[in-house]
A and B are shown apart, each in its own frame.
Chain A
Amino acid sequence: SAVISQKPSRDICQRGTSLTIQCQVDSQVTMMFWYRQQPGQSLTLIATANQGSEATYESGFVIDKFPISRPNLTFSTLTVSNMSPEDSSIYLCSVKDNEQFFGPGTRLTVL
């Protein structure tokens, strides 16, 4: 099974700033995914990050707001840009091996 770590585990940010979340996997994986989980809500897929190509975004999410990098097969970053309080959520990294594995999440609070 894949082991996923995320940094930071939590952060409190000011409105208008940006935060970059890192995701590290202990094995090489083709597909990495970023999800958002708003307080008390279920998970929503933001985008799929494949190494060597642009990320594919789901409806309602755009690259300018959530730029993603995927420099190699074990690492990805998600940036939450120009943050507002509505961006306060848990952001989860996920990878597909035989099963789908999720990271511990990054709890973001925007003031």
Chain B
Amino acid sequence: LAKTTQPISMDSYEGQEVNITCSHNNIATNDYITWYQQFPSQGPRFIIQGYKTKVTNEVASLFIPADRKSSTLSLPRVSLSDTAVYYCLVGPRGTYKYIFGTGTRLKVLA
């Protein structure tokens, strides 16, 4: 399964748009890109999944360039409650065997 690389941490202010980029140079043809969010003392929670171009839901947008070697999670107008660790995962749809990387620790400041 493709290994991912993300920034270890990011700071942002309330109301700003936050973009977290993930690098996955060895992504396979049948791999999807999935993002999870984890709050302290909770299990990870699914945010969004995509294969190519752009996916948007009520929580976030996921941008995937044509070569699919990276992806960007975009969180619009973050609030303090968005402070969490965000994990980028790559694997075939339906896979359970995700390799969790270090994740990105996002801190939203007032």
- A104 touches which of B43, B94, B101 (Cβ 8 Å): B43
Most interface-central of A42, A48, A104 (chain B CB within 10 A): A42
Known: A42-B101, A42-B103. Contact between A107 and B96, CB under 8 A? no
Structural contact, B44 and A43, CB atoms closer than 8 A: yes
Q: Is the CB–CB distance between B102 and A105 below 8 Å?
A: no
Q: Knowing A33-B96, A42-B100, A44-B100 touch, does A104 contact B46 (C-beta < 8 A)?
A: no
**Interface presence of B81 (CB below 8 A):** no
User: Whole-angstrom distance from the CB of A30 to the nearest CB of chain B?
Assistant: 10
Q: Choose from A31, A94, A104 the contact partner of B42 (Cβ within 8 Å).
A: A104
Separation of A45 and B43 alpha carbons in the complex (Å) = 13
CB contact under 8 A between A42 and B87, given known A33-B96, A100-B98: yes
Chain B residues with CB under 8 Å of A48's CB are: 96
- In the assembled complex, 20 residue pairs joining A and B whose CB atoms fall closer than 8 Å, in A order, are A4-B43, A31-B96, A42-B101, A42-B102, A43-B87, A44-B100, A45-B97, A45-B98, A94-B43, A96-B94, A96-B96, A99-B46, A99-B49, A100-B46, A100-B96, A100-B98, A101-B46, A102-B44, A102-B45, A105-B41
Interface positions of B (Cβ within 8 A of A): 41-46, 49, 87, 94, 96-98, 100-103
Interface residues of chain A, those whose CB is within 8 Å of chain B, are: 4, 31, 33, 42-45, 48, 92, 94, 96, 99-105, 107
